[in-house]
Chains A and B, each alone.
Chain A
């Protein structure tokens, strides 16, 4: 096939990029080489629009062992233990084929984690769908949930948490972000940097088929009406093989034979081999006839660009081949020596004894394009004015019931009961709380994890939204008694070639950076997904933040259910009454404009640290952070979980009840304390200038909102539990 500019355009490269390739090679690339360039230079693999801005994120910290740039981030949790974790998107495939798209998303992120030598110990996910009224939503939700469960359940890694959001901006482009945490000993972490010349390059795992060719390029393009035709570019997952691959790799890793290891994810054999060569400043020579193939007559182009799942590339020490092969034979997996490292710093491919590609590695990596795209700054709009008429005809109880059954607030049990969340026997906080918690097997430690996104806030003001998501993650970890350690981010945005979308990206990243720096909560891994757009319509900017934290003793874990009648309940943090962009404003008042709640990092930190201190002193019995729906939704959830009632004291000053109860001001927590600790708690709060309100006391069953309004917990529970179940029809 003749390679020319128009073929390059079909591969998603632009004219300038094609010319650059020809200049770098000093000749026209052949078809295999063009395929390789297009795979390495697309947005998904090269981060060409985002690199410039990601550089500014804080990635270092005392506990950071490995920041961005490897398969996943690694943090120290003491006693020679480390946690490897990352979040990644699989949005485009999941929209086209929800089951396989979501399943392979989970499979891919788990491979990223065990590639580094860690046994996966927990999965989480953040999934965003279109409006519940949209005709595709129900099937997409069902398919995605089954896909996530189908893969994670089979492997036997518990899914301990997540987030589900519905918003019409995802009608034509859903989001599926999967996160995995793995546990590894500090001295047994594996990296992808090749080292040494003439070392065997080994292919292990599943055979290579024609599935997923150009998957990474698809993820770098906008959807149009022909999207259904892209079905063949979605990979097919085989969790059983991945389970075998996991066990086989961990078995091989217990020895000393691996120099470097890299999973074949996006852009398959191409990116894995090039990554290893590039990091090691080496060349790699591959004989493509040795690659185990599922189908006959696969061309070098197809072999290099296939995204077949459950495959790994390993650089081995010389002489260890036999020993390694024995392990893969035991697990019934393919094992093939397909090449070796060289000193040429080139990627050289042979097929039928002919050289079919010859590319200097640095042209693919260091010389890949980087763009300083134009972007537009967002203005902070003025707050909407609130007056008595705003709340005319509204009854608090009606609003509360509506909010509890709001798609974005209601119980997601229908989803997480389809995920095995207890396998491995260490899940001590299940989905449905502020964060999921798993014990570090065989120790007193536990790791908490949460994943959060706030697209409406980010859309209204990206800079504030970016800060807010990081704070929310921090707060969720603190609420379960964990010391926050670090985050991973999955940045889902629209078309970076549009100034508005690029602006959303730049300012969200800036917000994430500011908050994570202030809170000492560094970003250690992540992924960028651009082009989440169908035709002209882009998604709301949606950075998903996956945060992890440590509990030194798992017995100190806190849950959100109210514990004991007569206990006193406080709101920590100040309620200003900010309604714009709250669920109350958007879905009850139908006011969609206005700024998101302000983020005050000083208060955030001060309040959060106070909560951790109170937990340390064992003064608090339950904690829940205040988020969507405000104070009263928080209280209702704590009542439902604990099957207890509550009497709300009328707020003393300020604002009317609606603002007080439904505002989504940031940096707030609800805490339950025993009467006998009241004095000590007050002293601590006052000494540290932490704002608090006394909200009321825990009762036996009913909630008394004011003298006239009373509601039973069972009624609220019905509101909260039924929406999703009846929406999905089961």
Chain B
């Protein structure tokens, strides 16, 4: 399986993603933001970080970079496109995904483990996944998902909520919402479910000596689904 990770100026989870993808069997290539062509890929990843310093609005400058045109083309033709953290923010800025990611509710950067509940398994990302609740890590300042009520209606109608913050037992409630995201949304799909944006970082949880290894569950499942 071939994957590509896009590097924007200010990306800082690009290497972590590269390590994770390779560990679970992807042949991964790093792609520079100024390139125009994507290598042949079964999966394209927009990694976390602070592209362009997040100075204008998180993800907004990156959404205008050269490579994005090919990324959009790739996704529109059905290719799997995943954005993690800053990558998720870039996906909403390109409008490949609906909504926006606002400042966390308490205006503080949050770095901790959270639980997320998988809402839909009818897609290439979570099909046949052996756990329904994953413990993953978040590290962000702007992860508070927000959208208009019209957008929310579409999201619901098309079953686009991918993962929601929950507690250890899978209950989705206010106490388990780390950043104020509407309906505890931690990640969403596009309508066709080939594009996934989510705030938690599966690439930081790929062995037991790190904060946990539910990221391994995610990646193992993903590559199996793609094979």
B111 touches A417 (CB 8 A): yes
* Known contacts A240-B50, A423-B12; A153/B137 CB under 8 A: no
The residues of A that contact B48 with a CB separation of less than 8 Å are 423
- Complex interface residues of chain A between 182 and 217 (CB less than 8 A to chain B): none
**A430 located at the interface, meaning its Cβ lies under 8 Å from any Cβ of chain B in the complex:** yes
B12 touches A730 (CB 8 A): no
The residues of A that contact B50 with a CB separation of less than 8 Å are 153-154, 156, 239-240, 243
- Which A residue sits closest to B112, measured CB to CB? A417
- Which B residue sits closest to A446, measured CB to CB? B209
B211 touches A425 (CB 8 A): no
**A601 located at the interface, meaning its Cβ lies under 8 Å from any Cβ of chain B in the complex:** no
A156 touches B12 (CB 8 A): yes
Cβ 8 A contact of A422, one of B49, B106, B109, B137: B137
* Min C-beta distance of A158 to chain B, whole Å: 9
**A420 located at the interface, meaning its Cβ lies under 8 Å from any Cβ of chain B in the complex:** yes
**A589 located at the interface, meaning its Cβ lies under 8 Å from any Cβ of chain B in the complex:** no
* Min C-beta distance of B85 to chain A, whole Å: 10
- Which B residue sits closest to A150, measured CB to CB? B109
- Which B residue sits closest to A425, measured CB to CB? B16
* Known contacts A240-B53, A422-B210, A554-B209; A154/B111 CB under 8 A: no
In the bound complex, how far is the Cα of B49 from the Cα of A322, in angstroms?
A: 30
**1/0 per residue A43-69: CB within 8 Å of B?**
000000000000000000000000000
**1/0 per residue A420-458: CB within 8 Å of B?**
111111111010000000010000000000000000000
* Known contacts A153-B139, A239-B50, A240-B53; A427/B10 CB under 8 A: no
**A547 located at the interface, meaning its Cβ lies under 8 Å from any Cβ of chain B in the complex:** no
**A99 located at the interface, meaning its Cβ lies under 8 Å from any Cβ of chain B in the complex:** no
In the bound complex, how far is the Cα of B198 from the Cα of A659, in angstroms?
A: 53
* Known contacts A423-B204, A428-B209; A155/B12 CB under 8 A: yes
- Complex interface residues of chain A between 140 and 194 (CB less than 8 A to chain B): 146, 149-150, 153-156
In the bound complex, how far is the Cα of B14 from the Cα of A416, in angstroms?
A: 23
- Which B residue sits closest to A149, measured CB to CB? B109
Cβ 8 A contact of A423, one of B16, B20, B52, B112: B16
Cβ 8 A contact of A424, one of B15, B52, B53, B106: B15
* Min C-beta distance of B135 to chain A, whole Å: 13
B53 touches A555 (CB 8 A): no
**B13 located at the interface, meaning its Cβ lies under 8 Å from any Cβ of chain A in the complex:** yes
In the bound complex, how far is the Cα of B53 from the Cα of A416, in angstroms?
A: 21
* Known contacts A419-B111, A425-B19; A240/B210 CB under 8 A: no
**1/0 per residue A399-427: CB within 8 Å of B?**
00000000000000000111111111111
**B110 located at the interface, meaning its Cβ lies under 8 Å from any Cβ of chain A in the complex:** yes
B54 touches A423 (CB 8 A): no
A244 touches B111 (CB 8 A): no
- Complex interface residues of chain A between 594 and 635 (CB less than 8 A to chain B): none
Cβ 8 A contact of A244, one of B9, B54, B106, B112: B9
**A332 located at the interface, meaning its Cβ lies under 8 Å from any Cβ of chain B in the complex:** yes
In the bound complex, how far is the Cα of B106 from the Cα of A146, in angstroms?
A: 13
B9 touches A331 (CB 8 A): yes
A420 touches B111 (CB 8 A): yes
Cβ 8 A contact of B108, one of A239, A243, A557, A730: A730
The residues of A that contact B111 with a CB separation of less than 8 Å are 153, 416-422
**A664 located at the interface, meaning its Cβ lies under 8 Å from any Cβ of chain B in the complex:** no
- Complex interface residues of chain B between 200 and 219 (CB less than 8 A to chain A): 201, 203-204, 206, 209-211
**A507 located at the interface, meaning its Cβ lies under 8 Å from any Cβ of chain B in the complex:** no
- Which A residue sits closest to B17, measured CB to CB? A425
The residues of B that contact A153 with a CB separation of less than 8 Å are 50, 109, 111, 139, 141
B139 touches A243 (CB 8 A): no
The residues of B that contact A419 with a CB separation of less than 8 Å are 109, 111
In the bound complex, how far is the Cα of B210 from the Cα of A555, in angstroms?
A: 11
- Complex interface residues of chain B between 18 and 62 (CB less than 8 A to chain A): 19-20, 48-50, 52-55
The residues of B that contact A418 with a CB separation of less than 8 Å are 108-111
**A238 located at the interface, meaning its Cβ lies under 8 Å from any Cβ of chain B in the complex:** yes
* Min C-beta distance of B218 to chain A, whole Å: 14
* Known contacts A422-B204, A423-B139, A423-B204; A156/B110 CB under 8 A: no
The residues of B that contact A154 with a CB separation of less than 8 Å are 10, 12, 50, 53-54
**1/0 per residue B161-205: CB within 8 Å of A?**
000000000000000000000000000000000000000010110
B interface residues, Cβ below 8 angstroms from A? 9-10, 12-13, 15-16, 19-20, 48-50, 52-55, 106, 108-112, 137, 139, 141, 201, 203-204, 206, 209-211
Name 23 A/B residue pairs within 8 A (Cβ), A-sorted. Answer: A146-B108, A153-B50, A153-B139, A154-B50, A154-B54, A239-B50, A239-B53, A240-B10, A240-B54, A241-B53, A243-B10, A243-B50, A417-B111, A417-B112, A419-B111, A420-B111, A420-B139, A422-B210, A423-B204, A424-B15, A424-B16, A425-B19, A427-B210
List 6 tightest A-B contacts by C-beta distance, closest first.
A156-B12, A240-B53, A425-B16, A154-B50, A420-B139, A428-B209
